[in-house]
Amino acid sequence: MFVFIIKRLLMFIPVLMGVVLVIFIILDFTPGDPAQIILGDMATPAEVTKLREEMGLNDPLIFRYGRYVMGLAQGTMGVSYKSGMPVLEEVAARFPNTLKLAVSSTLLAVILALPLGIIAAIKQNSIFDSVSMLFALIGITMPVFWLGLLLMLLFSLRLGWLPVSGADTLRHLVLPSITLGFMHMAAIARVTRSSMLEVIRQDYIRTALSKGLPFRTVITRHALPNAIIPAITVTGLQIGQLLGGAILTETVFSWPGVGRLLIQSIYSRDTPLVLGCIVVLCLCFSIVNLIVDLLYAAVDPRLRARFK
């Protein structure tokens, strides 16, 4: 297991280098001059040229990429063009808010989705199954920003129960968590139902029932451990998407997280800050995937043997 973890951690290095290279290429072809944006419209061409030279923007792409990777290896992410602050400090100041939103949304989604999917599978073709899957279908198809605006209209403007924006108290976390978790809850519930249906039709489940074991015992001890693996996969992917995909939610609710910071840095062509946000999100996504693989081993003994 230890060797497996070390191998996976070493794989983070080429993944990060590849992601940084792709972002460098995309930003290089994106219209706009960071030096012009920093100096403003009143700057002369000579001033813009001088600043570009000082910032190293006139160097070839491969040289700028190499400098950034070397700095990343030394634990630095450069300095923001817009604020002049170290990128690591800016991202670190926002990351706890994004993590708080991702964790709360995931907990909400899992707590609701797993029972919903399991009961829907057990009561297949019942009214509960139809209503719950319709509910899940609405959750998948409804745009996140639209749900956020509806919740804001109802609970903030009409009822006045919850604040519209900000991140000062736990009350500010409720609406963004529901907005972000609803869509992922729907996806996890549908996968859980499909997986559970497939498992409860297996011969060993019928054998366990024919031996007189209680139905609840068969479901919790025999069916659920095998049916939960696809749900773990989807949950892990959802967490990664929550860390990077909370951009719309953070924008709608003015939540001061990494997603909103990423959008602001893209608008201002702040390349170091864009790269810093994406590197941190990429690392989080890789770590979540590693944790999911370890959960596989904890749930399924067959997979545990492969990791030794």
* Structural domains in the chain, sorted by start: 95-306 (1.10.3720.10)
Torsion of CA 28, 30, 36, 37, to 10 degrees: -120
pLDDT per position as a tens digit, 172-186: 888 888 888 887 888
Q: What is the pLDDT of residue 229?
A: 79
| Banded model confidence at residue 300, pLDDT cuts 50, 70, 90 | low
Long-range CB contacts (within 8 A, 24+) of 7-15: 8/290, 8/293, 9/290, 11/286, 12/283, 12/286, 15/282, 15/286
**Number of other CB atoms surrounding residue 236 within 10 Å:** 20
| Banded model confidence at residue 305, pLDDT cuts 50, 70, 90 | low
Q: What is the pLDDT of residue 227?
A: 80
pLDDT per position as a tens digit, 236-278: 777 766 665 577 788 888 888 888 888 888 887 788 888 888 8
Q: What is the pLDDT of residue 106?
A: 84
Residue for token pair 């219209």: 31
Q: What is the pLDDT of residue 14?
A: 86
Residues 276 and 77 sit within 8 Å (Cβ to Cβ): yes
Tokens of 29: 């072809």
Classify residue 223 by its DSSP letter. I
Give the span between the Cα atoms of 247 and 72, in whole angstroms. 24
Give the span between the Cα atoms of 119 and 130, in whole angstroms. 11
Q: What is the pLDDT of residue 161?
A: 84
pLDDT higher than threshold 70 for residue 139: yes
Residue for token pair 């989080």: 284
Instruction: Tell me what the mean pLDDT of segment 205-225 comes to.
Output: 82
pLDDT higher than threshold 80 for residue 190: yes
pTM of the model: 0.77
Instruction: Tell me what the mean pLDDT of segment 48-53 comes to.
Output: 82
Give the span between the Cα atoms of 235 and 117, in whole angstroms. 13
| Banded model confidence at residue 3, pLDDT cuts 50, 70, 90 | confident
Give the span between the Cα atoms of 230 and 96, in whole angstroms. 28
| φ/ψ (deg, to 5) at 12 | -60, -30
- How many DSSP H helices and E strands does the chain contain? 15, 0
Residues 101 and 184 sit within 8 Å (Cβ to Cβ): no
Residues 164 and 91 sit within 8 Å (Cβ to Cβ): no
| Banded model confidence at residue 80, pLDDT cuts 50, 70, 90 | confident
Give the span between the Cα atoms of 286 and 265, in whole angstroms. 23
- Chain-centroid distance of CA 296 in Å reads 20
